[in-house]
Structure 1
Amino acid sequence: MTDLTDARAVSARDTRQRVLAIVGASSGNLVEWFDFYVYSFCAIYFAPAFFPSGDPTTQLLNTAGVFAAGFLMRPIGGWLFGRLADTHGRKTSMLVSVLMMCGGSLVIAALPTYSQIGAAAPALLLMARLLQGLSVGGEYGTSATYMSEVAIKGRRGFYASFQYVTLIGGQLCALLVLIILQQTLSTAELKAWGWRIPFVVGAAAALIALYLRKSLEETTTAESRMQKEAGTLRGLWKHRKAFFRVVGFTAGGSLIFYTFTTYMQKYLVNTAGMHAKTASNVMTGALFVYMCMQPLFGALSDKIGRRRSMLLFGFFATIGTVPLLHALKDVASPFMAFVLVTIALSIVSFYTSISGLIKAEMFPPEVRALGVGLSYAVGNAVFGGSAEYVALWFKQAGSETTFFWYVTVLCAVSLLVSFSMRDTDKEGYLRHEP
């Protein structure tokens, strides 16, 4: 009886430690994504300060271009931080990435405008975004890897889904800060200086995340870190099939994710004609529901398998994207807009709830962070980061609905890739790990 009681106590303590590790890792993830998305949500207000032009679409196109440029740094960040995590530990990599992100936020918060220093203003804005893109490129792969490694076997889908809980939470917090500012400041004040406040908030929050991450335990072993091919591209090349599969389903997954999250606020304002404050309220509600969905869909993947979850995502995204975007194009009611966006995000949840985990299950520990980070960053940089820019480009060219079909085609690619993959929770590398 005593042995059974002791075993239960150890099991409960182990579970608590794993949960605390998930919280510590995800706290930095939340701060990173808050800082990154503040740029997108505040672009409506600071675009004229850096890109003076009479046409709102042109201004948003320029800021979206800088947003996309930050994504182009992600493959470099995925490689750099992936190598660091595989050779020096996940914890070290996560500490460096959160510090780098917040440095970029402080730079943006203090930047002079175009009227003050001319063309140097957008150039410095671009440099700050490149720094943040480098950081996020490393953050995703390392945090996804860490959270998958500390998650409890048999419930990895549920626990690993909290990566996107905090990722979406970062977006949600960015929106909430913006809404508070919209309620307390005038539009003129927001355009003049108010847009800087969220960047300062994000940088300050990094101190808490840094403190929590310093207490994390390392999940890698000295043996795996010291392997000759640990964190190397040569070692990753042995798993190139997994690498290209991840790029394939990330293309559609990241594109539709950014379409219905960061771009959707602009879409509701710029296309549906909704007031900016109303659009922010709609997206806040939708993102909150979306955040709460992640553990449910993650737990579902533990029951039905990762491959089946990905097939459901690919199928519903392929047949649903065009009808949903058409309906949102002509939506008149904020409530109906909320319902339509929530339906779209429910479809996306089949992918996002297991996004990091399914990638981690495809690579061995010595190249796991590199494999997850680099493959995701490549697909995300090319397709996810360019979502706003491509959408606005088609709108400016007078063919906005072409973008709807562009998203649909890439979701169909994700569906085809999912057909070719194995069920990683049953056959992946993590199945042997506790």
Structure 2
Amino acid sequence: MQDNPTPIPLWRQLQGAASLLMAVRDGQSMTAALEDVDAALRPGVQSLGFHTLRWLGRAEALRQQLAKRPPPPEADALLCVALALIWTEHDAPYTAHTLVDQAVEAAKRGDATQHQASFINGCLRRFLRERDDLVARSEKSPQAVWNHPQWWIDRVRKDHPGQWQAILQANNSRAPLILRVNERKTTQAQYLLALSAVNIAATPVGKQGVILASAQPVPSLPGFAEGHFSVQDAAAQLAAPLLLEGLNTGDGQGARPRILDACAAPGGKTAHLLELADCEVTALDIDARRCTRIAQNLGRLGLQAHIEVADAGRPQDWWDGQPYDGILLDAPCTASGIVRRHPDVRWLRRPTDIAQLAGIQAHLLQALWPLLKPGGRLLYCTCSVFRAEGDNQIQTFVAHHTDALLMPSPGHLLPQSGAEATVFPDNLMREHDGFYYAILEKRNP
């Protein structure tokens, strides 16, 4: 018989979460920083790291009150992690006493923080004594209230004056695990039964989506190895059906539509296209390692596409001259719509990133449009709530391309966290990330 593994002490996990925060402050994504964390520590560190980044604006406002001059970076990160975890009693994952004790222990055992242990102890104990007053004073800071940088708050408010508060609130919620059922292997109803048989609670969303009541290790879910599902947010599950709807197959002889997935990695939308239609798909991505992931994901699902490592913005390097019936352009963007899943994004982005990425998006649209057949459709999408990457981008493109007809399209889907519903063609979706969709049809000359 194997002994139960020794529980990992909280102080070690707090050290790990502080190292994640320092990495994000240095401009590194949390996903990349997590790869440097010991595998045994990773789940706990990730959970604490996510919590910290969701409440970082509040934690920093409180730290500024407790210490007018910021302590050294390592001590500041550890203190902010602790404050994010205990600033409110109702959402705190640990008791205040335990948290303070383990945060001080983490400081004592860190080479760069051991001389700051008494300072951290003093700050946290003062916070507990004066919690109500300190939290009330932090309410004066929009960054503390909304837990986003000020420029981000201002931008969302300008772009969505009627919904900006709901967007920011949704960003601070935990995103559930959502699956897309592979209809070539099973159905939504059958898969819900398969989950129920192993006591996993889940509900349907959209036509192929399944929301798990609580997160599970994906490879352990029923039908994973057999390719019965993929992990994909409900908003992203709209891409393939939107492109395929009304798609012109070209010659009227039953030829398979030729479709280009222009920025395809990791292959979720490529797979969805192949699951829904008998089509010939070219999956393109500039990153060779990410193309390997496309191949792995398609292999598990029992699907095939032509995968090519290339820059979608330079068709002269890879295009065979045969026009496409459909093009899916899931363009690089700020990822401002998927902050629930990637809470580090808001702290990594800079205001200048929006214009830079909008320039890349415009270049991709310009480069790919000539590859589309007359009568063909291009679906442009981004996982962004910023209008510069959505409505504004498409309105500018249509104004400069008289052969581009903007079809009825979803436009901006704002992040939803179960509380309010967005009605989308015969679907009631209460749970999805922020996305933008525009369907462009090429008019016959």
Bin for the TM-score computed over the shorter chain: under 0.3
Relative contact order higher in (CA < 8 Å, ≥ 6 apart): 1
Considering fraction of residues, name the structure with more helix: 1
Greater radius of gyration (CA): 2
Larger strand percent:
2
Structure 1 length normalisation: TM-score?
A: 0.26
